[in-house]
Amino acid sequence: MQRWTRLALLAAAAALIAGCAAIRRPVAPQVSPAPPSRRAIRRPTSPPLVSLAHARIALLLPVTGPLAEAGASVRDGFLTAYYQMVAQRRPTVRVYDTAADSVADLIARATRWRANLIVGPLTRQNVAAAAVDPQARPPVLALNFLPAGSHAPPRFFQFALSPTAEARMVARRVLADGHREGIAIVPQGQWGTRVLNAFARQLQAGGGRLLAVARIDTARADYSGPIERALLINQSLGRLRRLESLLGVRLAFTLRRREDVQFIFTPAPAGVERLLLPQLRFYYAGGIPDYSISDAFVPDPAANQGLNGLRFPSTPWMLGGSLADAVREAAAQAWPASGPDQGRLFAFGFDADRLAMALLRTERPDTLDLNGLTGRLTLAPDGRIHRRLIWARLENGETRILPARQWLAPRPEAQ
């Protein structure tokens, strides 16, 4: 069965899911659009209301090149949502390859095509390029956040799976759980630094503080050195060696960790987390509440046996639910034997379609409120889509949903 034939089967599952859009191959119009108004806009504004059946969406993704796999996952999720709409109400979608042309050229082409909305691009660098010269293009639903310190122009919405946003969410949860002082163990490199900084700033804003920070080399499997330093195990070993030297005998000795740690923050991919937590237990830290971000969890009970007690925010796509189950059933009908990678980016693409349809339908984007695969989605005054995730804890490889806690109000900080 050909790929598009398989996708067409998704339409049969339309009754399962409320929401979204099939692809017609459009003919480019010959008339250039009139330039939009240059009046100042203080809050995010919706695209002009248009019948979805007559709407045009330009989807800017990396179709070729090193990011083609990520782009394909987002595209497949977008199309899965797209085919849930009644055929007569589907807008026209045209895909543009950001690996083949510059973002500026693609936006110009989408504008000449008279797109009502641009969805994408995907990378932060390309999102920054898309924010230039806002008056010459349709509204944009960017699939990443602008770099820190950047100003979002009018009619520019931002949707992302941001680990730094999740880190701030974790900091608020730590504070809401009554913890104020703890340690962080993060991967070396830029990703770990960004996540750590976001967590530490939010924690400090709520009155907490980090007692120590350890950085681990994720290319290795032994994290004992950084763990010993963060938990002050090395001081315990130092005392042992001094006593043995003073007395001239070997002593029976039980290592001890520091006693002032109320929590441990360990943001890392699932494979790293499965190595890290057992080593923390070896150093007597198993009783300390451990928090991570959604990357630490994959829905595999066998793989999660070593993560007992881990607390983390996650998405309905990973934890399951009626919408997630319906999407998986629809995808199974479309791809009976094999199908696309249905990871986080697939769910991200699905929600991008739902957001696009909502933006095209509403005059008040600030009232946007969707239950998506990537969380509860609302629009902030700065044009960013906020995701409210579900908190869970792992027990014997299985997830247990945790009750919501009252935490500090989210801050519109840079990602």
Residue 404 has pLDDT above 80, yes or no: yes
363 and 304: one domain?
no
Contact 231, 283 (CB under 8 A): yes
Distance CA 103, CA 113 (A): 15
137 and 182: one domain?
no
246 and 211: one domain?
yes
pLDDT in tens, 246-273: 556 564 555 678 899 999 999 999 999 9
230 and 302: one domain?
yes
pLDDT band at 46 (very low <50, low <70, confident <90, very high): low
Residue 8 has pLDDT above 50, yes or no: no
- Residue 244 corresponds to which tokens in the numbers above? 């043995």
Higher model confidence: residue 141 or residue 149? 141
Question: For residue 61, which amino acid is it?
Answer: L
pLDDT in tens, 373-388: 999 999 998 899 999 9
140 and 172: one domain?
no
Distance CA 245, CA 240 (A): 9
23 and 145: one domain?
yes
- Residue 337 corresponds to which tokens in the numbers above? 């034997």
Overall number of domains in the chain: 2
Question: For residue 90, which amino acid is it?
Answer: R
149 and 250: one domain?
no
Range of the domain at 300: 164-315+390-401
Tell me, what's the pLDDT at 7? Answer: 47
Q: How big is the chain, counted in residues?
A: 415
Q: Is 347 within a domain?
A: yes
Q: Is 41 within a domain?
A: no
Q: Is 9 within a domain?
A: yes
Contact 189, 196 (CB under 8 A): no
Q: What are phi and psi of 256, to 5 degrees?
A: -130, 145
Which residues 6+ apart lie within 8 Å of 29 measured at CB? 112, 113, 114
Q: Residue 345's CB: how many other CB atoms inside 10 A?
A: 23
- Residue 49 corresponds to which tokens in the numbers above? 């209301």
Residue 4 has pLDDT above 50, yes or no: no
Highest mean pLDDT among 118-122, 246-250, 256-260, 393-397 belongs to: 118-122
Q: Is 78 within a domain?
A: yes
121 and 180: one domain?
no
Question: For residue 169, which amino acid is it?
Answer: M
327 and 287: one domain?
no
70 and 202: one domain?
no
Residue 9 has pLDDT above 80, yes or no: no
Lowest mean pLDDT among 123-127, 230-234, 410-414: 410-414
Q: Is 18 within a domain?
A: yes
Tell me, what's the pLDDT at 332? Answer: 84
Question: Could you identify the residue written with the tokens 């939010």?
Answer: 202
Q: Is 408 within a domain?
A: no
309 and 347: one domain?
no
Whole-model pTM: value is: 0.84
Tell me, what's the pLDDT at 239? Answer: 55
Torsional sign, CA 229, 233, 236, 238:
negative
The CATH number assigned to the domain holding 72 equals 3.40.50.2300
Q: Is 136 within a domain?
A: yes
Distance CA 311, CA 313 (A): 7
Q: Is 227 within a domain?
A: yes
Q: Give CA angle at 110 (139, 77), nearest 5°.
A: 75
276 and 179: one domain?
yes
DSSP structural state of residue 321: -
Highest mean pLDDT among 28-32, 174-178, 366-370 belongs to: 174-178
pLDDT in tens, 210-243: 999 999 999 999 999 999 999 998 665 655 465 4
Tell me, what's the pLDDT at 333? Answer: 82
